[in-house]
Chains A and B, each alone.
Chain A
Amino acid sequence: AQSVTQLDSQVPVFEEAPVELRCNYSSSVSVYLFWYVQYPNQGLQLLLKYLSGSTLVKGINGFEAEFNKSQTSFHLRKPSVHISDTAEYFCAVSTVSSNTGKLIFGQGTTLQVKP
């Protein structure tokens, strides 16, 4: 079975500061990795995904993430955050061999950007 652990439930940060949201996963098979963002009272929006190839993945809104297979991590980073980045962020995996592509999510990290 697969599992995803987001190591921080809340991350407060000042505007224009860098941020890292941590994600570790556990799986005995190869996985695809995703980061989604959820703004208040909205559905999930894909930020970026890792399927194969380069381990550094760039996404929307200036976010990027790096896949580290040896550490089974997929941490999300942004060099300078804005107030509008305040939201909940979810890391997720699906197995490469899956017939369904269903996503297994972490518990989420609330990013609070302060002025």
Chain B
Amino acid sequence: GAGVSQSPSNKVTEKGKDVELRCDPISGHTALYWYRQSLGQGLEFLIYFQGNSAPDKSGLPSDRFSAERTGGSVSTLTIQRTQQEDSAVYLCASSTQSGDTQYFGPGTRLTVL
């Protein structure tokens, strides 16, 4: 079946602009995660959604970062007023429920000039 998909695959933006990154989880997966992969920080957890529960935002690095999950399916990660340190690969993962195996998408490579 279809895996986790993310769009765009690459995004180049100018410092100060807002960007939106999209994640389509595997159908039927109720848990959704965002991670960031950067050279300096490695792989970091950003945010977690589970069904209709309040998300776990404990990994978001600043208030410029936010995420939504509409209808329990598609998620959008928004970064406002992008900075050069936001340049990274943003990975989305989903699982049938929290604690189960997480399946990762191919990622969105964000470059802030």
Contacts and interface: CB of A to CB of B under 8 A. Distances in A.
A44 B91 contact: yes
A43 B48 contact: no
- In this complex, the interface size class of chain A, counting residues with CB under 8 Å from chain B, is 20 to 34
Given A101-B95, A102-B56, A107 B4 contact: no
Given A44-B91, A90-B43, A101-B31, A49 B101 contact: yes
Contacts of B103: 46
A28 interface: no
A45 B104 contact: yes
Contacts of B72: none
Given A42-B106, A44-B104, A101 B99 contact: yes
A98 B45 contact: no
Contacts of A105: 42-44
Contacts of A99: 56, 98
- Interface of B, secondary structure class, is strand
Interface string A90-107: 101010001111111111
B50 interface: yes
Contacts of A41: 106
Nearest to B44: A105
Interface in A10-55: 32, 36, 41-46, 49
A101 B100 CA distance: 7
A90 B59 CA distance: 19
Interface in A72-115: 90, 92, 94, 98-108
A98 B21 CA distance: 27
A103 B102 contact: yes
Interface string B84-113: 000000010101001111111111000000
Nearest to B9: A41
A4 to B, nearest CB: 10
9 contacts: A43-B106, A46-B102, A46-B103, A100-B48, A101-B31, A102-B45, A103-B35, A105-B42, A105-B43
Interface of B: 4, 31, 33, 35, 42-45, 48, 50, 56, 59, 91, 93, 95, 98-107
